Structure 1
């Protein structure tokens, strides 16, 4: 942001050197980038952060100087003489796009005489509109005419963009529409380039066609020139998101879009309009119509922010006099709402949209009082922060997986169509896509972490790193049922592993034990594209899908040029963490002996070990302390086709007494009976 030394003097006395001013502004948050002598003036280049849109005009910078030096501030009243008929009888505004334009105002001046700008206006604009050429020489501002130059002057004066339309070039006799662009519409802007518009963009239109790209640039067909006699002055508020999206899509950036993207003063819209009309009447003559057309004349007041005086000392480490605090905030434009001994409530000014919290007010007091007034050894009490449960759990997950020899990876959230199409265990809905590729050839928001990890494993293999076992903890983006729904951003844990299916499943079971999950995990066979059919399972906890474990299919291995089998797993962290007990719980150890029994069941080939184990567990209560798989044996001649023998061991124990032989036999009979009823199992005699 370039500000002129001479220009600033119109609002605040500068009884200091330019060097002193530059240093003081830097210490208060407006970093000094450099200064340049322009004719008899000095242009000061200030770095304005994105939250300080109020300093993108000379009045905003002058307001800062007035507070820093406790100097008087003088702002023009902007009271143009309106002698024409009411503007509402001559101009109408219809806002069809309030999401992109919260307020639109219009004024009308008839009978202007467009001619070259006066010297004072040209001099002011040349002091701030210039840039250096490659050879070091300055490219000066080229004045346009008195009307257009006035709109640029007011822009640099207060930071509110304006635009002037030639009424005679607008179809419909002063009918203005704020609406989305229609598909296929184009506009030739005042830079004399034609831009193709789409319905996401907001345009200002007359009765038949767009005449400006809202918040970005006006159209050439309605621009003011020497033949113009009647002008419509636009002053509006356009949504920062809408302006930023449009400017980026069209690759068209302007001083107006720069300011709208950083928000403008909602109450300064009308002042800027009146100021512009006042200067046009002064430089171009004409008759101003009475009043203005305003689609939202009443702006909502910002909420009050309470400042506790004790917090100033706690955070800054120094005491600041109460009167000094009141002086600083009052001079910054804050309005005192309540005044109590230990706290004061303030209404922030309309131009300071960034003052929403107590910490913001403390920062304002600190930077105006002077950061250099805070000693380096100021005592500031610091309390250690506590970890979130999520961080504690994820830390344990990382420790376990790295202990298993799996390295953590970080892969992009945007993937190529090829990677996304490999597999998607969570959903079969099409992936969401970005409008512009974030990486070369990558536009899809990933629905699973596994394809990215498989791609990384393949890249490692190509680089001669054979054992690239990788895991990642990151978001996946599950599309909603409707295209307009926001995606479900699910935190997921996934890994690809050169070990067997049983090893990957064992990692899941160990993970559940480490995190204190006491629920029994249900394992259900699943058929998923990209995995081997009979070596893929869905894992459930309390009827919720925890995740998937499976062996990557041969076809996918060949596609990725992976010579060895790979298992992959992906878990939903929200489901996992919902059942965690991160604080270890005490469990008393029974002092009574354990009774162990081996049971050899003949069951259907389709029955999985997890099903058998769950049935055994459900048959007993706390007396069953462990169920262990031993082996599987097949004898078609004795047991029949599609049957198998599964040998398991159980441990029985009571916590209040020694388990007798008869009691143990009764418990075993309950297990056998339950397995016969639910799994059609048969116990082999020993």
Structure 2
């Protein structure tokens, strides 16, 4: 932001040099990128203002910072002015049809003003920051924007149809001509300021040509408002109209500063253009959420910074920054941040403010800094094991947004008919609900990859999902693992088995056919059951969702609640001695019914009483001729080993026959004959 040095000194009684001010501001986090000398001993400072500090987008905000840093007196100019007898409500009306887009809109009317050139003091201030003087009324609005940071707009009162202001969404196809003579076709998403007939301004972006203040203007309607940052940004980017006003509205203006800026502008317009201000102000507003008090312990400063900042100096810094001290109790103090400092929400934020103003240079440099080894929790160990296993299997980790639209927020939540949780406020207009499942984010990521021309994907995400708990204050938060792959379903299930093995839970996660997940193919889905409890599901995405997302083919997906696995996981590998004696392996090809799962075959083999059976391994699956319809052929490998003596083939034959008998009895299996 451009800051005039002489203008800045009107608000702070600083007796030091420009170089000292620049150095101390930069050291305190308000970086001055450059200093350009101007005429009359003035200088133009290019101040870098962070996106979280819109309060410094005006000379008053910068002056407040300089005063806090140096201990100089901060001076707020007067906004008092004399009102006339005529009531403003009898001269104009304001209707806000979209309170979310415009939480506060104020209007004042000034009558019989004389529009003309600005006085020299105002011209100097405007030119010093690189603006072109227009006329006294417009120059005052620009002056206030750079003084306080609150954008204003002055309308020619007589050119407003029915002297009426309506803040509404535009109608598709409405035409608008801006002050810079550019013409635009509005869309239904644009917030506009309209009169009784047509739009007269793009809210927060730029005023209209028809109602601009000119030398012929006699009466002025002065707007001071707060607009939704996302709405302003969307319209500004779509129309390619970027202004000083839109820059500030996009970052958020002070709700309470709307009135002060309006009063200050009225005072200066009456001084420079004469006229009379109507009595009162039209103020249409929705009360905002106010900052919460913060309880702050001085010991926290010592723990974080490693130094003692004098108590009195800490309180001075807080008060100088506009933070109200509500009360002190021993080593703690309760404070209330000002409305224009929305970035101050926690006690650690206050430590940062005290540290940067007190001076980082006062924190001693330690050559050897003691550190403590980080402690890894069990949950973190399990998560790391999951991430490393899936990455090794060819999956890529995704990080998606927790907020989504209402439809996506309710997906993949079988048996849960509660409404998704809505947020009070978000920067994303289309994403105002908290997800119940992690999978919608992965589906959107697949869609983005598909649109970008990328091929098959395999992704996973470990993240929180949220579900409402009626009658309880807080929702249920659970950490979920979600997987998505374009590979075959068998490959996806194999990855789940590999993951279970890595967690020391092999054989304990079962797949049971189900049809309860509406978003999945009814014929290709299963519940994931761990120790008898359902902890998730897997399956092919259904046709309806695939068509809506325009997928070329259905991916395989899975989602698991991780807490049961975290509790049961055995991450420490168990040592097994290297076998000293040879094993005998036998391969079998068995024909079984289509519905027989592998776990039943594994259980039948291990429960057949073959004491020397060491392992059962799946080899392959075949369907088709000459295997009868409704049947399938599964090839498996049996490994036998005796730990005491060398196993003979005759012994292995006997164990194999026991296992075949168990297959025939329990699963109606038959051994595939040669040539079959």
TM-score normalised by the chain length of structure 1: 0.72
Q: Give the match's secondary structure for 1:33.
A: strand
* 2:51 alignment partner in structure 1: 50
Between the two proteins, the alignment pairs up a number of residues equal to 581
CA deviations on 1:299-335 (whole Å, 9 max, x unpaired) are 6542111111111011011111101111111111111
Shift of the 649–525 alpha-carbon distance from structure 1 to 2, 3 Å rule, reads farther
Mapped to 1, the partners of 2:311 and 2:339 lie a distance apart of 24
Partner of 2:460: 473
Q: Which moved more, 1:258-267 or 1:117-126?
A: 258-267
Q: Tell me, what secondary structure is at the counterpart of 1:26?
A: helix
Alignment CA distance shift 1:7-1:626 (3 Å): same
The one of 382, 385, 389 equivalent to 1:400 is: 389
- Cα 1:680–1:59 shift into 2, 3 Å: same
Unmatched tracts of structure 2, length 5 or more: 402-411, 415-427, 431-439, 466-477, 516-522, 542-552, 577-583, 641-653
| CA 328–79 in structure 1, closer or farther in 2 if over 3 Å, else same | same
The superposition leaves residues 550-606 of structure 1 with CA deviations (integer Å, 9 ceiling, x where unpaired) of 9xxxxxxxxxxxxxxxx99855354467535345489999xxxxxx99999975553
1:579 maps onto 2:568 in alignment: no
TM-score (norm 2): 0.73
Q: Could you say which residue in structure 1 is the equivalent of 2:278?
A: 289
Partner of 2:499: 511
SS of equivalent to 2:267: helix
Gaps of 5+ in 1: 131-140, 415-424, 428-433, 437-443, 460-468, 479-487, 527-533, 551-566, 590-595, 653-664
| Counterparts of 2:559 and 2:161, CA distance in 1 | 59
For 2:235 and 2:270, how far apart are their aligned partners in 1?
33
Contact 1:546/1:576, CA 8 A, preserved across alignment: no
Match of 1:447 in 2: 443
- 1:205: Cα distance to partner? 1.0
2:315 to 319, 326, 330: 326
1:529-540 equivalent positions in 2, closer than 5 A: 540=528
Distance 1:449 1:11, change over 3 A: closer
**Deviating more after overlay: 536-545 vs 625-634:** 625-634
Q: Are residue 118 (structure 1) and residue 124 (structure 2) matched?
A: no
SS of the residue aligned with 2:251? coil
Two-structure CA RMSD over aligned residues (Å): 4.9
Aligned-pair CA distance for 1:348: 0.9
Query: Could you say if the C-alpha distance between residues 278 and 610 of structure 1 is closer, same or farther in structure 2, counting changes exceeding 3 Å?
Result: same
| 2:102 paired residue number | 101
**Alpha carbons 1:546, 1:575 under 8 Å: kept:** no
**Within 5 Å, which residues of 2 pair with 1:229-248?**
229-248=218-237
Q: CA offset at residue 212 of structure 1?
A: 0.9
- 2:268 aligned to 268, 272, 279, which one? 279
Matches of 1:165 and 1:285, distance apart in 2 = 17
Contact 1:492/1:570 (8 A) holds in 2: no
Q: 2:145 aligns with which of 149, 155, 159?
A: 155
Which whole-Å deviations, capped at 9, do the CAs of 1:420-467 have from their partners, x for residues lacking one? xxxxx999xxxxxx999xxxxxxx9862777888999988xxxxxxxx
CA distance in 2, matches of 1:639, 1:213: 72
- Residues in 2 aligned to 1:247 and 1:268: alpha-carbon distance in whole angstroms: 23
After TM superposition, give the deviation of residue 390 of structure 1 in Å: 6.4
Once residues 514 and 288 of structure 2 are traced to their aligned partners in structure 1, the CA distance between those partners, rounded to angstroms, is 60
Aligned to 1:168: 158
Q: Is the 8 A contact 1:184 1:197 kept in 2?
A: yes
Task: List aligned pairs for 1:527-676, cutoff 5 A.
Answer: 540-541=528-529, 546-548=537-539, 570-572=556-558, 574-575=560-561, 579-580=565-566, 581-584=568-571, 604-610=592-598, 612-613=600-601, 616=604, 628=616
SS at match of 1:260: helix
How far off its partner does 1:179 sit?
A: 1.1
- The SS at the match of 2:124 is helix
Distance 2:627 2:211 in 1: 92
